[in-house]
Amino acid sequence: VEFLYCDLASMKSIRQFVQRFKAKNCPLHVLVNNAGVMLVPERKTEDGFEEHFGLNYLGHFLLTNLLLDTLRQSGTHSHNARIITVSSATHYVGKLHLSDLQSRCSYSPHGAYAQSKLALVLFTYQLQHLLTANGSHVTANVVDPGVVNTELYKHVFWVVKVAKWMTAWLFFKTPEEGASTTIYAAVSPEMEGVGGCYLYNEERTKSADVAYDEELQRRLWTESCKMAGISDESSRVP
C-alpha cells in the first residue's frame, strides 16, 4: 500500500496528486470518490467554493475528470475500470440551485449538504452517458452507504449527538457494513460492464426523480467544468 496525499478541498492539491500518480505509470482500475463533510458552518475552500459543494462534489468532479484518460487506458472489454461515487439518501430532499450553487443567497447547512449529494448523483449519470458515447471500457455508479456510525456527524446539534451515542448500536451501520455496497460496486462480477446505477444495500434502486433530468445533468456538468477550469467534453457528445 502506498499513500499519496490529496486534499479534495483544494484544486491545486488535486492537480498535484494526479500529476504524482500519473508519473508512476500505474493502471487505475477502481476509483472510489468518498471524501466529504456534513452540516459544517458556512465557510469556503481555499478556491472560494462553499465547502459542501467544493469538497463533497467539485473536488471529486475534477479528480475524476483528470484521471479519466488513465481509467480509459486501464479498462478492457472483459474488465471495465470502475468509478464509484458515494452519495447519500439525503439527495432525495436536495435541490440544485444552478444560479446559486455556492448557497450565497441563503445558507443552510442541511440544504448545502443535500445539494452536494444530489450533484454527485447527477454527475454520475452524465459521466456514464459520456463514457458510453465514447465507447470507453469504464463504468460509473453511485452508492448510498446508509446511516453509518462515523465522525461525519461531529457538526450536528448536541442533542442529536447524544441520541446517536445512545442508539448507534441499534440504528447505525458499522463502518465495515457501510462500506459493503461500495466494495460490491468496485469488485462484484455482477457489476461488470454495468454503469449508471444507484446502489443501496448491494442492490440497484431508484434515485430521486430530478436526478434523471438529462438537461439538468448537462447544465451542471457544463457549469462544473467552468468552475474546475477544464474543457467541457459533453459539448462534443450528442
Catalytic center residues: 113
* Cross-strand partners of 140: 83
User: What is the Cβ-side half-sphere exposure of residue 125, based on CA atoms within 13 angstroms?
Assistant: 23
- The 3-state DSSP class for residue 40 equals coil
* CA distances for 68 relative to 65, 131, 217, 232, angstroms: 5, 9, 18, 13
Angle, helix 109-133 to helix 59-74, in steps of 10 degrees: 20
Structural element, H or E, at residue 61: helix 59-74
The one-letter amino acid code at 78 reads S
Question: What single letter denotes the amino acid at residue 94?
Answer: G
